Amino acid sequence: MPSNTDQNLRPDYDPEIQAIVDYVRDYQVVAEEAWQTAHYCLLDTLGCGFLALRFPECSKHLGPIVEGTVVPHGARVPGTPYRLDPVKAAWDIGCMVRWLDYNDTWLAAEWGHPSDNLGGILAVADHLSQKRVAEGMPPLTMDVVLESMIKAHEIQGVLALDNSFNRVGLDHVLLVKVASTAVVAHLMGANREQMLSAVSHAWVDGQALRTYRHAPNAGSRKSWAAGDATSRAVRLADIALRDEMGIPGALTAPQWGFYDVLFSKTNKDQVIKPPEKRQFSFQRDYGSYVMENILFKIRFPAEFHAQTACEAAVLLYPEVKDRLDDIERIEVTTHESAIRIISKEGPLANPADRDHCLQYMIAVPLIMGNLRAEHYEDTFHVDNPMIDTLREKMQIIESPAYTSDYLDPAKRSIANAVQVFFNDGAQTEIVTVEYPIGHRRRREEGIPALIDKFHQNVLTCFPPTRAERILDTCKNRETLTSMPVHEFINALVL
């Protein structure tokens, strides 16, 4: 007969948790492309943070919670004078690099921005490097930061390949928290048992809902949510280092684990998944694949599914800029993910709402010939009513081929096509862009532009002479990787 009692046999840690921990502890990164791309990723991510400091809505979040707090060997926040405990420093760095939606992107069944993990990595590495020197030990060097970035990218990206958290209503910053927890716990000296505990707590933690990224609630939380996640990772690692017990069946526990509680229903029609569909699936083992294939946002601070649409609109600008009033309609052919995430009608309430609107991100470059962070601000939107006029004339069409190529591991395209029709019957050619400039297939073209983007972003935060010194410090990977972390950060603070 059925039992009325639970079987209290404590399991081993879930295999998924063990795989993450053992990868971080044991995997040796040997791929030259991964190291090279991580170097570019570090520069690009820091540059995005420097640019964000120009925006008061970002900078108001930065600094100590209690004014005047003194933290021994405190982690520094690049571009600022702040010296903070590693938990708050991780929050601030993560907030900066994500604020303008300009740092790297990973697109698969789930989306995300793996360089968000730099918040926790850099804060912990800077604090530990200073502390080690004070105790007469060798400092951490920047190769440790790059290696941690490669591994955090890999954890977040491989989990995202086949597993759609957005379809169950969860935000992708969950994966930032998991990846950051694993790598910062390792940086902080956790043993295997402590790392398992830390990662299990990341899965058990309350997870963010995606509602702040979607109509009608899109808002600025999406710009600091990843900072919050990477900061929470540092806190969880600290808890585990105090020998706090873990939750071995965090994912698989019947009824109470992550799979049954948070991964069991689709978020739209609430269909209950059968148990075998509630577990993660994996295309590949952890290695360095994600960093090697990461997508950079080089030209536009815009949600990545719109990057190729923005490129197409810029190409059309010379032909349409003098005929904006004569436009009858604009046909936009895209992929299913773009339609699900960023296609929206109606009023746009704030900058975060606008940089997640496909129609807005096409309209601005059709009018201006470019798309910059300032173009999302309230004053710009109010002063340019043509933006909403063009938005109303757009027809969004899904191409099954674009959707298929988006999910194809051999392609991972992010295709968009734009065509403009005029009242007199004339029309432009269909301008199609399959791969954005930040795609791996366009690295040769993209990297020089990425370096220029970094340089220009540094100039928004530092005077020219200082900016040149920073560029010299950063551009040579061999020199950079051997540099003590705290000395590297010394060059970046005010």
User: Which residue's entry shows tokens 């020199």?
Assistant: 479
Quickly state the pLDDT bin for 9 (edges 50, 70, 90). confident
- Average pLDDT in the 338-359 region? 94
User: Mind listing the pLDDT tens digit for each residue in 284-335?
Assistant: 999 999 999 999 999 999 999 999 999 999 999 999 999 999 999 999 999 9
Residue 156: which of 294, 325, 301 has the closest Cα? Answer: 294
pLDDT category at 1 given cuts 50, 70, 90 is: low
Q: What is the mean pLDDT of residues 10-37?
A: 97
Give me the pLDDT at residue 268, please.
Answer: 67
Lowest mean pLDDT among 263-272, 350-359, 470-479: 263-272
At 6 the pLDDT is 65
Rg (the chain; Cα; Å): 23
* Beta carbons within 8 Å of 197's beta carbon, 6+ residues apart: 240, 244, 245, 246, 247
pLDDT at 272: 79
* pLDDT score of 98: 97
Q: What is the pLDDT of residues 232-282, one digit of tens each?
A: 999 999 999 999 999 999 999 999 999 999 998 876 666 777 777 789 999
Residue 7 has pLDDT above 70, yes or no: no
Q: Quick one: pLDDT at residue 5?
A: 62
Angle in degrees, CA 228, 230, 234, rounded to 5: 110
Q: What is the pLDDT of residue 380?
A: 97
Q: How confident is the prediction for the chain on average, in pLDDT?
A: 95
Q: What is the average per-residue pLDDT within 48-75?
A: 96
pLDDT tens, residue by residue, 132-187: 999 999 999 999 999 999 999 999 999 999 999 998 999 999 999 999 999 999 99
pLDDT digits (tens, 9 = 90+) for 370-424: 999 999 999 999 999 999 999 999 999 999 999 999 988 888 899 999 999 999 9
Rounded to 5 degrees, φ, ψ at 9 are: -100, 105
Quick one: pLDDT at residue 3?
60
Q: In this structure, are residues 234 and 59 in contact, taking their beta carbons and an 8 Å threshold?
A: no
